[in-house]
């Protein structure tokens, strides 16, 4: 995890996991950190959505496999609610998990393994709260290479229409984002400044209605701009 972690006012967190012991452990870790406050807990996705609407936390720490409503559907409901400021950080037991891909499609800003070191968890929560995506695009790409063929189609030519809104250069940038390249690497590849790349990324995210680079990576696969297993 990068040491350049955004600093910000107090970050509020909702814990959503069906295992009380894990919630207790996460609460102890987070409440020992300055600037982070756990404002609530939920034992399943349905309760998690309800509590997110009540408490409006900055970040929901979301388990994937839960009774009544899983973390994917809970993530979808939270991320699609324009009235909620909450960003979702998904926790999973397996790093190559098709449910993680579904959660990213549903609007999760990041995923981490449940055995992540405490410092990395804290950093991730702060980064997500600041509006950035934690998941390294290369890790996202590895997931998508495995599971993209199982992703539901986006139907009705919607993705084709969205891609058509992009300029040629924005399309080029999107493909490179999906290849896991940083802004600096994209700038070198396209022989432009890093500031120009940041501008292109911002424009394409806005045009496609995406929150961050992780969702852009998923979209690139979903739309066919990038194919599973394509060379880096």
pLDDT at 167 over 90: yes
The alpha carbon of 111 is separated from its chain's Cα centroid by a whole number of angstroms, namely 7
State the pairing for strand pair 87-92/59-63.
Answer: parallel
Whether 113 shows a pLDDT value over 70: the answer reads yes
Report the pLDDT averaged over residues 127-133: 78
Q: Quote the percentage of the chain above a pLDDT of 70.
A: 81
| 113: three-class secondary structure by DSSP | strand
Read off the pLDDT band of 19 (50, 70, 90): very high
The C-alpha angle 149, 154, 157, rounded to 5 degrees, equals: 120
- Partners of 88 in the β-ladder: 60
pLDDT band at 157 (very low <50, low <70, confident <90, very high): low
Least confident of 41-50, 108-117, 128-137: 128-137
- What does the block give as tokens for 126? 């702060």
Q: What are the beta bridge partners of residue 16?
A: 42, 62
What are the C-alpha distances in Å from 49 to residues 40, 68, 74? Answer: 12, 12, 6
pLDDT reported for residue 103? 83
51-59 mean pLDDT? 97
The pTM is what? 0.69
Residue ranges of the chain that CATH labels 1.10.10.10:
155-222
Given a cut of 80, is residue 28 above it in pLDDT?
yes
CA–CA gap between residue 139 and residue 116 (Å, rounded): 15
Q: Which residue has tokens 């040629």?
A: 168
Determine contact, residues 104/214, Cβ cutoff 8 Å. Answer: yes
Output the six-digit token pair for 197.
Answer: 């790349």
Mean pLDDT of 24-31: 94
CATH of domain 11-135: 3.40.50.2300
- The three-point CA angle 74-224-128 to 5° equals 35
Say yes or no: domain 155-222 is CATH 3.30.70.660: no
Domain with CATH 3.40.50.2300 in the chain: 11-135
Q: How far apart are CA 74 and CA 44, in angstroms?
A: 9
Query: How many other β-carbons are positioned within 10 Å of the β-carbon of residue 76?
Result: 20
Confidence of residue 231 (pLDDT cuts 50, 70, 90): very low
């Amino acid at each position: 995890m990068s040491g350049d972690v955004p600093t910000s006012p107090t970050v509020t967190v909702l814990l959503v996991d069906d295992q009380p012991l894990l919630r207790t452990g996460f609460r102890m870790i987070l409440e020992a950190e300055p600037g982070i406050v756990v404002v609530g807990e939920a034992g399943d996705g349905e309760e998690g959505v309800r509590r997110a609407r009540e408490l409006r936390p900055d970040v929901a720490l979301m388990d994937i496999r839960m009774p009544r409503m899983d973390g994917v559907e809970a993530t979808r409901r939270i991320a699609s609610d324009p009235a909620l400021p909450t960003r979702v950080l998904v926790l999973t037991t397996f790093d190559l998990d098709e449910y993680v891909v579904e959660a990213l499609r549903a609007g999760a800003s990041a995923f981490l393994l449940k055995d992540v070191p405490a410092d990395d968890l804290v950093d991730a929560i702060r980064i997500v709260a600041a509006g950035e995506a934690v998941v390294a695009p290369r890790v996202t790409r590895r997931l998508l290479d495995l599971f993209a063929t199982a992703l539901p189609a986006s139907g009705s030519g919607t993705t084709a229409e969205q891609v058509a809104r992009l300029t040629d250069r924005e399309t080029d940038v999107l493909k490179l984002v999906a290849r896991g390249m940083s802004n600096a690497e994209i700038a070198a590849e396209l022989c432009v400044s890093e500031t120009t790349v940041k501008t292109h990324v911002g424009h394409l995210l806005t045009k496609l209605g995406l929150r961050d680079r992780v969702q852009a990576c998923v979209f690139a696969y979903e739309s066919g701009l990038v194919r599973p297993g394509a060379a880096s």
